[in-house]
Amino acid sequence: MLTAQKQDYALTQELAAKIDLVLASHDYDQTQIVGVLLDVQDLIEQHYIPETIAYYIAEKLDVKISNIYDCITFYSSLSERPRAKYPIQICNSIVCQVNDNQSIFSTFKELLGIDINEVTYDGRFTLESVPCFGACDQAPAVRINGTIYGRLDSHEKIEKLLNKLL
Amino acid sequence: MSKPIHFITKNFDKYDVSSIGSYMNIGGFDALKKAVTMDGEDIATIIAEAKVKGRGGAAYDMGRKWSQARAVIGEKKVVICNADEGEPCTFKDRELITKDPFNLIESMIIAGYTVKAQDGYIYMREEYAHLRPLLLNAIRQAKSYGFLGTNILGKGFDFNIHLYSGAGAYVCGEGTALIHSIEGKAGRPRMKPPFMKQSGLFALPTCVNNVESLSIVPHLLLDDKKEYQSYGIGESMGTKLISVGGNVITPGVFEIPFGTTVREIIYNYAGGIKEDRAIRLIQFGGASGKVANADILDIPYTYEDLQNSGVIVGSGAILVIDERTSVIDFLRATQAFFSHESCGQCVPCREGNRHIKLFLEKFAAGTATQDDINAMKKIAKIMAMSSLCGLGETAQNALVSAMKVFPESFAIGGAK
């Protein structure tokens, strides 16, 4: 993971322009660091904050880089290491556990051939075990890029969901 | 089942949640128009008379809170809507935001008017990011209609609302952590005092309310017939939104009058238990709440009765777990949650959670000893007494209550 982190992520002009738009939409407001980072993370295909971009944001907002990393490392919705195009967040709260979320874990692991926190070779999928995201009425549920897919209580439903993303 | 009640949920499915005009057609902003003709203290009194208690979990007297916030001297003040609903099995605020966003905006403006604040902040958990456009639109429309901004309704009152997002930290539901997060910092709680009402967000006097608490206010102001006060029993007046989940047939959010029995909630509102299995345990109020066994079924859902039965209303969550899950497995899951969410600042919470985890593993393996039980009780007590914030203080609520209700699960050498 360290090697992936150290790799320089190219801050293209196009990306910088998009980040500037995000910053402008937050009025370059230093209190909105978390909101900015969440929005910028969505701009990066693998949904994380590369180091070069963390520095870019720090400079643009005129805050210390340690302030940016304090937030990135504190909040679990922010990541400093590459995730995937589709991070599959499987709810592991007690509510989903008693609704057999174990079969969601095992089915995704089997279908994708990866374990929790691993990324598929093509960078498209990763599996994450997350606490309750408030979809308990649709348990067992997963969340992918902000969309909730609930009542995944059969192998077929999970396979269908995965095929939809492919 | 008794007739469904819609007081807090009155507006659900009654208007187009993307249109302020549609909201105004069903009486939207009438409460605000009435509020600005009133003295703020009288608004607080109406809330106090309805005996509304904070619906985030702490159950603090809301009328009193507003009255105190109003009395604090300060040139600038802030109101915050805590929409960081993070307790597992709690999703009532999600329903309120989804189905009645304008009412929340209206109630925040009323809050601002009452406590004399200029700015309102909605702090919503990242997991509800899909609801951001809904709220942003509601704020924008309210502004263009003059309900936000300067000189609102010609009363010389200025108020703006800002929407901030959490980022997956349960601890940010705690007031001081929440304000740190809005200030652009990591959401670590701090010591109190200073108390929020005196020095909160940006060191300004701050009044924090839960989504549901706020959402009641516009309805109360227009409740001339005192319908709300006709529901409930004693100190538990009115209605409450609850979210029922777990092994029930129809999990969901329901508005119930206080005093409805737990049995009616589980077997009528939530459709009963899947495959009619027996109930192992019921947890009230989210992960930081307490547990009971099926003996609680005939207890009325009120603050007093639940407390007398060893549980709490808390966040309004009711998690029902059937006989297939053991008490120890349930506790291990709850434990894992708190270990994950502890911010790590204070020793009792950070280390205590780790130790409790090890003890629970011993119980699961059937290798626990009497010494382990004693040590576990001691650590749970230390956590409750000396943690920095509410997270550590309440993390072992489930364990401590389970030890009382299910002593057989903690029998030496008993793995169940």
Quick: pLDDT tens for B164-193.
999 999 999 999 999 999 999 999 999 999
- Give the mean pLDDT of chain B: 96
Contact flag A71-B130 (C-beta cutoff 8 Å): no
Is B150 found in the same domain as B216? yes
Residue range(s) defining the domain that contains residue B262:
231-322
Residue B414: is its pLDDT beyond 70? no
The per-residue pLDDT for range B47-83, each reduced to its tens digit, is 999 999 999 999 999 999 999 999 999 999 999 999 9
pLDDT value for B1: 56
Contact flag A71-B186 (C-beta cutoff 8 Å): yes
**Which residues between 323 and 382 in chain B have a beta carbon less than 8 angstroms from any beta carbon of chain A?**
324-325, 330, 333-334, 336-337, 340-341, 343
Residue B368 phi, psi dihedral angles, 5° rounding: -70, 150
Contact flag B251-A139 (C-beta cutoff 8 Å): yes
Using 50, 70 and 90 to split pLDDT, how confident is the model at A5? very low
Q: How far apart are the CA of A88 and the nearest CA of chain B, in angstroms? A: 14
Residue B233's nearest CA partner among B290, B165, B306, B168 is: B306
Q: For residue B243, which residues of chain A lie inside 8 Å, CB to CB?
A: 136-137
The chain B residue lying nearest A35, using CA atoms, is: B165
Is B269 found in the same domain as B168? no
pLDDT value for B412: 82
Which amino acid, one-letter code, is at B352? G
Is A46 part of a structural domain of the chain?
Answer: yes
With H, G, I as helix, E, B as strand and everything else as coil, classify residue A118.
coil
Asked whether the beta carbons of B178 and B82 are under 8 A apart, the reply is: yes
Contact flag B167-A30 (C-beta cutoff 8 Å): no
Residue B415: is its pLDDT beyond 60? no
CB-closest option in B170, B187, B330 to A131:
B170
With H, G, I as helix, E, B as strand and everything else as coil, classify residue A1.
coil
Give the total number of structural domains in chain B.
3
Tell me what ipTM this predicted complex has. 0.94
Is B11 part of a structural domain of the chain?
Answer: no
Contact flag A38-B324 (C-beta cutoff 8 Å): no
Is B213 found in the same domain as B275? no
Is B287 found in the same domain as B142? no
Is B415 part of a structural domain of the chain?
Answer: no
Residue range(s) defining the domain that contains residue A52:
2-74
Q: How far apart are the CA of B217 and the nearest CA of chain A, in angstroms? A: 24
pTM (two decimals): 0.96
Contact flag A31-B182 (C-beta cutoff 8 Å): yes
Residue ending a domain, among B201, B227, B253, is B227
Using 50, 70 and 90 to split pLDDT, how confident is the model at B413? low
Is A64 found in the same domain as A108? no
